[in-house]
Structure 1
Amino acid sequence: MKLLAIGDNVVDVYLDRNEMFPGGNALNVAVLAKQYGAEDTGFIGIVGDDSEGDHIIDSLEKNLVNISHIRRAYGESGKAYVDIDATGDRIFVKSNKGGIQSKLRLKLDPSDYEYMKDYDVLHTSIYSSLDDQLPLVKQLLPISYDFSNHFTDELLKTVCPHITFAFLSGSDLGDKQIEELINKIHGYGTHYVIVTRGSKGVIMSDRTQSFIQGIEEAEVIDTLGAGDSFIAGFLTCYLNHHTIKQSLQLAALRAARTCEVNGAFGNGKQLVK
């Protein structure tokens, strides 16, 4: 399978050791899907012209992600400042709100749409400012969308008619709330709904059947990127013609392994003070 990711990218700056790692949901999914066996992955996004942007570009190239349609702009790359608690869970302290990405919204052009035809699925996120362009994108390939835990009814109603895979974080929701949420998203037109619940595992529905997947054991040192790893693992496995059950299990294993490394996929670099 071939996966294209469009949207958010940052460097995650670890304050305890003054080290930065490339990240952002869309970028992580592109890199991790390539690591998990995707034949080809690409990434389109806006990256600043600073040293952090250089590190993002270098990391994508080292991980063999196609960046032929990436944009570099004069300004600051996205930065998120992170601390890790005693359990290995990441705590976001502050950010620059996406840096230059928040000032220059990504606008796809005809060459981007032509480029998309080479891929089997497109992944994007709530942080990628692509929502108004989804009606055009869906005419070319299926869309996977990560809502994180910041979704609203209005956003679901806007996005879900255009996407095939919906990923949501529902660790603060009860079983009844999750059931209602899944039914609502199906009602808006999305075929596959996957709700991650932290240590409680995952609930998924494909309209006809529900699936439950528990977490896999891990020596946790950093949970950053675990959700992105789950998404990349599921899409890569399922779109390579494995069953939903097999894909969920492998995705859980991928997420567990991500918790055992710093950053979403490594590539740490010391910040210059």
Structure 2
Amino acid sequence: MRLIAVGDNVVDYYEDREEMFPGGNAVNVAVFWKRYGVEEVSYIGIVGNDEEGDHIVNSIAHEQIDVSRVRRVFGPSGEAVVTLDERGDRIFVGSNKGGVQNQLKLNFTESELAFISTFSLLHTSVFSRLEKELPILKQYIDISFDFSTNYDEDYLKLVCPYIKYAIFSGGSLTEEECEALITRVHQLGTPNIIVTRGSEGSLFSDSQRVYRQGIIETEVVDTLGAGDTFVAIFLKEYVLSGNAKEAMEKGAAAAAETCQRFGAFGHGKKRGKRITIG
């Protein structure tokens, strides 16, 4: 099995620990794919030429993910400042809005599109600024797209016709609101929809029925990356087997394991100097 993640990357800087961890939705999904048994995983993204960028690329490469098509550019890498509440839930208190990723966009050559077409699935997100590339990418590969908490109608219309899997963070939504969102996204052309709901578990719709999965209780150290873990393992298992119930169960088990460590997938590192972000 070969899967590819394209787009956002970041370092999550934990103020209380004075430590940075690699992450970002696309990066997290790529790493969890590899850790949970996908034979070949590639990542394409834009990274700054700074200490943070070095740490992101080195950490991904350490996970045996192909980073040969990562773009290194002059400027700051993406950074989010994170703190944890008493339950281990992460709270974002600042960011540099993606760093250089906010100024540049990914473009794909014909040879790169041919390379992408050799994979079973491409995962990207709302933070990756690939909306205008989706009609092209759809011609080469199935796409999963993480909207995070963006439920804007115009944005849904822009993205939904071109993707096979839509993923939403629905922790702030009631179950009725989640079901209404699922109905609307199906109407816009997306056949498969995942909604993660934090402690309420998750929902998945395949256009025929809605499946529900609760969380697996565990000792929580840090919830950062748990949702991305669930999504990564669900997608991997569902693409392989088409068994939604089993895929959700395995995703929930993996998410519980992620909650037991700091950072989405570890690789914490002290850095040379602190950069203040508003």
The TM tier, using the shorter chain, reads: over 0.9
Q: Where does the alignment leave 5 or more consecutive residues of structure 1 unmatched?
A: none
Aligned residue in 1 for 2:138 = 138
Residue 48 (structure 2) pairs with residue 48 (structure 1): yes
Q: Which amino acid aligns with 1:64?
A: Q
Residue 35 (structure 2) pairs with residue 35 (structure 1): yes
Q: Where does the alignment leave 5 or more consecutive residues of structure 2 unmatched?
A: 274-278
Decide which moves more: 14-23 or 168-177. 168-177
Partners of 1:176 and 1:247 in 2: CA distance: 23
Within a 5 Å distance, the mapping from 1:105-184 to structure 2 comes to: 105-184=105-184
Partners of 1:102 and 1:186 in 2: CA distance: 30
The alignment of Structure 1 onto Structure 2 pairs a total of residues equal to: 273
Partners of 1:51 and 1:75 in 2: CA distance: 11
Partners of 1:32 and 1:164 in 2: CA distance: 20
Query: Would the aligned equivalents of 1:226 and 1:258 in 2 still touch at CA under 8 Å?
Result: yes
Partners of 2:242 and 2:160 in 1: CA distance: 24
Partners of 1:97 and 1:156 in 2: CA distance: 21
Aligned residue in 1 for 2:276 = none
Query: TM-score when scaled to structure 1?
Result: 0.98
Query: Would the aligned equivalents of 1:40 and 1:65 in 2 still touch at CA under 8 Å?
Result: yes
Residue-by-residue CA offset, 1:185-238 (whole Å, 9 max, x unaligned): 111111111111111111111011110100011110101011110111101111
Aligned residue in 1 for 2:88 = 88
**C-alpha root-mean-square deviation of aligned residues, in Å?**
1.0
Q: Tell me the CA shift for residue 151 of structure 1.
A: 2.8
Partners of 1:110 and 1:48 in 2: CA distance: 25
- Indicate the SS of the match to 1:239: helix
Partners of 1:70 and 1:118 in 2: CA distance: 18
Partners of 2:119 and 2:126 in 1: CA distance: 21
Aligned residue in 1 for 2:10 = 10
Residue-by-residue CA offset, 1:134-164 (whole Å, 9 max, x unaligned): 0111111110000111231111111010000
Query: TM-score when scaled to structure 2?
Result: 0.96
Q: Tell me the CA shift for residue 68 of structure 1.
A: 1.5
